[in-house]
Amino acid sequence: MKKIIYLISGLAILFLLTFNFSGCVDQDFEDIEPRVDTTLLNANTTIAELKSMYPGSLFQLSDTTFFNRDSIIIEGIVTSDDKTGNFYKTIVIQDASGAIEVKLDKTNLSNDYKLGQRLIIYCNSLYLGDYGGLIQIGSAYTENGYKQIGGMEGDVIINKHVFRKGETPAPVTPLVINPSLLTAANISKLVKVENVQFETLYFPGTTTPLTYADKASGESLDHILKGCIDNYNSKLVVRSSGYASFANKPISNLKGSVIGVLSYYNGTFQLIIRDLNDINFTEARCL
């Protein structure tokens, strides 16, 4: 009996000892405090100025003294949103002078660059390029011996060039356009076209409604917008990605307004919508 008391007290001592030791294996973590990202950098160049520097083929902003400044810094507000997948590895920013597509080799960008977020882009050493006439800024990659504009190579590189400035969202009001405003200066701006409808609603010779894009194959599709008053001459389309979550939804058979980022490819202006709320068709179609 004595032995057992002795033994139990020995064990108790051991446990007291070890519980004291257990302090060294601390695995309780306090939540990290929320913070607001900001940067002290200020823009010294407007987006329109930057785009005007583009010589017409892939061009690296390496020797910035050429432009009589040490660095090229632009600022803009995010107008794109990749949540539905209609934008892919791309954000679009806009300032008072214009707008530009920024290419990032990263997905789920709306987690970092929300609609209305003010961004600073430090452009030194980035590339300007174009895709079918649409000017973009980003990195470059070589494929089949052909060097072309591409996304910035992941977080490490992105964090050296793209900075959030403040948290106050300042949503951009879309520019209401008409055929005469389909100009190079307005490319990549957030725009709104009014009193329009989709020209073709069904697959040729059927009553099967067309969808925004081809989800099965992942192919993008263009749908020509027809103005009820204005004549866009088949030069304005709504273009959507086959990977967009709304790709398999039938296109609206009503008329109304569309908001989107004004994109461009070889003579055709394209509206890239963020989600289906950008198609605000509520009235019966015009003839």
Q: Examine residue 2 and tell whether it contacts another protein (CB under 8 A).
A: no
Please, what is the end-to-end C-alpha distance for the chain in angstroms?
103
Footprint of another protein on 209-228 (CB under 8 A): 215
Asked whether 91 and 78 are in contact (CB, 8 A), the reply is yes
Residue 139 β-bridge partners: 150
Out of 2, 5, 35, 229, the only residue in the binding site for another protein (CB under 8 A) is 35
Footprint of another protein on 241-280 (CB under 8 A): 245, 247-248
Stretch that binds another protein, among 47-55, 155-163, 234-242, 269-277 (CB under 8 A): 155-163
Residue type, 21: F
CA angle 93, 115, 234 (to 5 degrees): 65
Q: Which secondary structure element, helix H or strand E, spans residue 219, and what is its range?
A: none
**CA 245 → CA 108, 214, 225, 249, 257, distances in Å?**
13, 11, 21, 9, 21
Residue 117 and residue 103: Cα distance in Å, rounded? Answer: 16
Footprint of another protein on 86-105 (CB under 8 A): 105
Asked whether 96 and 148 are in contact (CB, 8 A), the reply is no
Stretch that binds another protein, among 4-12, 177-185, 234-242, 256-264 (CB under 8 A): 4-12
Stretch that binds another protein, among 63-71, 142-150, 220-228, 266-274 (CB under 8 A): 142-150
Number of residues this chain uses to bind another protein (CB under 8 A): 51
Q: Closest approach of Cβ 129 to another protein, in Å? A: 11
Residue 239 and residue 124: Cα distance in Å, rounded? Answer: 32
Which residues are at the interface with another protein (CB under 8 A)?
3-4, 7, 10-11, 14-15, 17-18, 21-22, 24-27, 29-32, 34-35, 37, 60, 83, 105-108, 111-112, 114, 125, 127, 139-143, 147, 150, 152-157, 160, 215, 245, 247-248
